[in-house]
Amino acid sequence: MNKLLKTILPLAVLAILLFAQKYLNSSDKTEEEASTLTSSPLSEPVQDLSLPVSSPSKTDILIEHEGFSLLYDTKTMCPRWVAWELTAEETRGRVSRQGIDFKEDTNVPKEYQVASWDYNGGQYGRGHMCPAGDMKWSKEAMQDCHYMTNICPQNAELNKVWWEHLERACRSWARQDGSVQIVCGPVFSENPRHFGKKHRMAVPKGFYKVVLSQKKGREKAIGFYYTNDDAVQPMEDAVRSVDDIERMTGIDFFSSLPDEQEDKLEAMNDLRAWDK
């Protein structure tokens, strides 16, 4: 299964089912035949990351890139969330980011296509949500993670030190457990400040990341929140439960898990559980 299918939105599964049903009806298939077709491997729900669920907004655009998915908010000109699965094998990728430039994302209308030069001369850096370090397994994935829809205004100290520490930890956890599922994004104040040369991006007050491991017998989840400034922010101070992050963002993470398991895992906030 390729990386795009790993992160496919559950609605895509529904679309497949609807298409199958339409085909069956047009071909005068019986109910018994329909049942047989819709239980085929193609139409079974995927077992990987179910994309986050948030309140629908007319300003949002869902985008699928190689290796990750995101929900882009044309109001803030930042992603609401970026989601991907990272496997142990992918962490051993050797594709370099050298020579790859940030670029506008043509998946959004022209007026919302933030450009790299919009950040020039500003006090915030181009902060990857899905990091280049997680996309070294594919040249296309490496290129795609440099689309500006995957970027937020981020304090330089946070970007280069504390946020990167967490990114490195996630790669370590993927190698340790075989794979992890990750979602991250910005958190905004009620009235965020804006900056940018032409396109005016909202500046996040902070950033969240939630991580899930489904390694059998060692299932666990954890959340993190970092303020978007140059404060010293060791990982242990940034720890939150996934429930905490859901309350903070209004987003429902890992909703494809059975309810009982979801409730248990999303209440966890033990960083020590990830060091084993």
Q: What is the CATH number of the domain that holds 229?
A: 3.40.570.10
Same domain as 121, residue 59 = yes
> Which percentage of the chain shows pLDDT scores above 70?
82
Same domain as 246, residue 141 = yes
Instruction: Return all residues near 211 (Cβ < 8 A) that are at least 6 apart.
Output: 170, 173, 180, 181, 182, 221, 222, 223, 224
In 3-state terms, the chain is what percent helix, strand and coil (to 5)?
Answer: 35, 25, 40
**Lowest-confidence region among 8-17, 38-47, 186-195:** 38-47
Same domain as 69, residue 32 = no
Per-residue b/e over 162-199, b at no fewer than 16 CB within 10 Å?
Answer: bbeebbebbbebbbebebbbbbbbbbbeeebeebbeeb
Specify the pTM: 0.82
Note down the domain range covering 27: 1-47
Same domain as 97, residue 24 = no
Q: What is the tally of structural domains in the chain?
A: 2
Same domain as 189, residue 167 = yes
Same domain as 136, residue 217 = yes
Same domain as 129, residue 108 = yes
pLDDT of residue 25: 42
Q: How many residues does the chain have?
A: 276
At position 172, the amino acid (one-letter code) is S
Q: Is 155 exposed, middle or buried (0-12, 13-18, 19+ CB in 10 A)?
A: buried
pLDDT in tens, 103-160: 999 999 999 999 999 999 989 999 999 999 999 999 999 999 999 999 999 999 999 9
Give me 187's structure tokens. Answer: 């958190």
pLDDT in tens, 167-190: 999 999 999 999 999 999 999 999
